[in-house]
Amino acid sequence: MSVAKPWIASYPSETSASLEYPRVSLTHFLVESAKNYPENPALYFMGKRITYSQLLTLSYQCANALISRGVKKGDRVAIMLPNLPQTVIAYYGALFAGAVVVMTNPLYTERELVHQINDSGAETLIALDLLYNRVMSVKASTPLKHVIFTSISDFLPIVKKWAYPLVQRKQGQKPPAIAYDNTIEPFLSILKESATNPVNVEVDPEEDLALLQYTGGTTGVAKGVMLTHMNLVANTVQCGEILYKMKPGQERIIGALPFFHVYGLTTVMNKGIKLGAEIILIPRFDVKQILESIHKLKPTMFPGAPTMYIGLINHPDLPKYDLSSIEACVSGSAPLPLEVQQRFEEITKGKLVEGYGLTEASPVTHSNPLWGKRISGSIGLPWPDTDCKVVDPATGEELPQGEVGELVVSGPQVMRGYWNRPEDTAATLKDGWLLTGDMGYMDEKGYFYIVDRKKDMIIAGGYNIYPREVEEVLFEHPAVQEAAIIGVPDPYRGETVKAFVILKKGQSVTEEELNQHCRKRLASYKVPRLYEFPEELPKTMVGKVLRRKLLEEEKLRREAEQDTKLG
């Protein structure tokens, strides 16, 4: 064991420091599970179950349909869908055809969609029919040649399929009148007319891309992260080593994390398919639907984000539901407050631990052991074969244990680079190390702690303030449900701390009370000077607070105030 890797000694005895990774394409996991568990349910969607053998056949049909429409190895196929059976079928269909999948957020505006389709060069798009008008309005300004539309009702059970138009009308959704032709086609039709024979275009797992995953754009223009088959295979295998108690062919996973985000893609879809688990598809995060799904379907795993767990534990109907089937949850995308972890574990009797990752690493690099020693406030230990160090962001020199610097990682899950962006790639990948942009430190046992993003650090009166530390303190107040911290301009201190606080239902608190609460727990220069109590915080689909949006809104507000004074 290397002295430089103290985390290995902290691993549970069941977790190996180094693993064997099969040199296969990502589709291998589906083929294997269909062979081992042909009649086991792979997907559950609103009452309909699709078995592993059915999913494999549907994926082959999708691959054959794409190939007959001119899709060749290396072509990009964009998928713009929420979590539906069609999403999984299209994903594996595109991979069987040798294509590179471009997962696209269904909430994208026209501007964001144009950027992603043009940047990736995708000529084929599989999208939800409700997005027809948005897609068609941008088609001419992109390279798109084929668009395949699917409806939420396509894979509903018969009775629900009949009722679906009524539900749509009730919700005020008017299905668009789609003008089909030879370039705009319905998903179900192209599947039905396509051969079911196996197709598997040969790929080099280490060289060929499986996924172009666009970073959320929370720090600027979204960039396409190039992930190979091996990157995703490795992260899926690593995930299995961490979840060593999960039994192949016997688990059920709640699929509430969106698959168009790499966190949901790896921890729910790729991992679920490899495990031969039943994936319970949740198209949109709805607390009541998730409570009902857990109560009725008894899932054992629930990868999620803190906002999801916060939503569940604060729901007024929580006592009506039995959540005791949940055994394992890894929380990512944002810091996990201790109070949320404790309350969730109390309710479910399962384990909820914090992990860490980024799109550029497929995405997971760290997590607390589920059944070993975990430390609240820590992102845990590096995953097997993942090397990490903390460096001085100015010099790149490795810092001593306990000192705060930039976290850098390397491992088999780390991306090839950014699509068509050699300069960005060179700035982020240095000598095999991925610069995360996150500031943190490591303790003597090898547990890592993130103090904040390099870009989010506030400098007030010469002091460095990390928003996460202040947010954690605000979370401890019994009236606070969520909190976000930003730095705002201050003529005297350079920047000062502003808190955005969401209160729990029925609770109230004054600024003075929050001030007193923070002063007992923080150095005075870290205590927020300004408070705002909005209805909600701007977030990404996986619950990450968009601090940039808060900063932009704050800037606009200050400019408007300045104009009013001048006027």
Is a pLDDT exceeding 70 seen at residue 218? Answer: no
DSSP state of 320: G
Domain boundary among 140, 169, 202: 202
Query: pLDDT (tens digit, 9 = 90+) per residue, 342-386?
Result: 999 999 999 999 999 999 999 999 999 999 999 988 999 999 999
* Tokens describing residue 514: 């929050």
The pLDDT value recorded for residue 107 is 85
The band of 76, judged by pLDDT with boundaries at 50, 70 and 90, is: very high
* Tokens describing residue 325: 């089937």
* Tokens describing residue 263: 């966190």
Query: pLDDT (tens digit, 9 = 90+) per residue, 245-299?
Result: 999 999 999 999 999 999 999 999 999 999 999 999 999 989 999 999 999 999 9
In a domain, 359, yes or no: no
In a domain, 412, yes or no: no
In a domain, 546, yes or no: yes
Hey, CA dihedral for 553, 559, 564, 567, is it positive or negative? Answer: negative
Average pLDDT over residues 157-170: 86
Cis status, amide bond into 363, omega within 30 of 0: yes
Of 62 and 336, more confident:
62
In a domain, 164, yes or no: yes
In a domain, 285, yes or no: no
Burial of 281 (0-12, 13-18, 19+ CB in 10 A): buried
The band of 93, judged by pLDDT with boundaries at 50, 70 and 90, is: very high
User: In percent, how much of the chain has pLDDT > 70?
Assistant: 98
Of 220 and 116, more confident:
116
Least confident of 48-62, 167-181, 222-236, 283-297: 167-181
* Tokens describing residue 279: 């994936």
Rounded CA-CA distance 104/107 in Å is 9
- What type of residue is 218? T
Between the two ends of the chain, the Cα-to-Cα distance in Å is 69
Distances (CA, A) of 26 to 32, 147, 176, 364: 11, 24, 35, 17
The band of 419, judged by pLDDT with boundaries at 50, 70 and 90, is: very high
Domain boundary among 177, 202, 227: 202
The band of 493, judged by pLDDT with boundaries at 50, 70 and 90, is: confident
Rounded CA-CA distance 384/274 in Å is 18
Rounded CA-CA distance 27/254 in Å is 21
Assign residue 121 a region (left: φ > 0; alpha: ψ between -120 and 50; beta: otherwise): left
For the chain, how many structural domains are there in total? 2
Cβ atoms of 358 and 332 within 8 Å: the answer is: no
Nearest in space to 409 (alpha carbons), one of 334, 469, 464, 359: 359
Is a pLDDT exceeding 50 seen at residue 230? Answer: yes
In a domain, 245, yes or no: no
Query: pLDDT (tens digit, 9 = 90+) per residue, 2-59?
Result: 347 999 999 999 999 999 999 999 999 999 999 999 999 999 999 999 999 999 999 9
Domain boundary among 202, 222, 238: 202
Is a pLDDT exceeding 70 seen at residue 566? Answer: yes
The pLDDT value recorded for residue 567 is 62
Cβ atoms of 78 and 116 within 8 Å: the answer is: yes
Of 442 and 457, more confident:
442
State which residues form the domain around 130.
26-33+48-202
The pLDDT value recorded for residue 544 is 81
Nearest in space to 128 (alpha carbons), one of 90, 171, 72: 90
Average pLDDT over residues 485-495: 85
Average pLDDT, the chain: 93
In a domain, 162, yes or no: yes
Single pTM value for the model: 0.86
Cα 73 to the chain's mean position, in Å? Answer: 27
CATH of the domain at 528: 3.30.300.30
CATH of the domain at 131: 3.40.50.980
Helices and strands per DSSP (H, E), number in the chain: 18, 26
In a domain, 479, yes or no: yes
Cβ atoms of 48 and 161 within 8 Å: the answer is: no
Distances (CA, A) of 540 to 254, 353, 523: 19, 21, 31
The pLDDT value recorded for residue 2 is 39
Partners of 409 in the β-ladder: 388, 434
Of 523 and 443, more confident:
443
**Collapsing DSSP states into helix, strand and coil, what is residue 554?**
helix
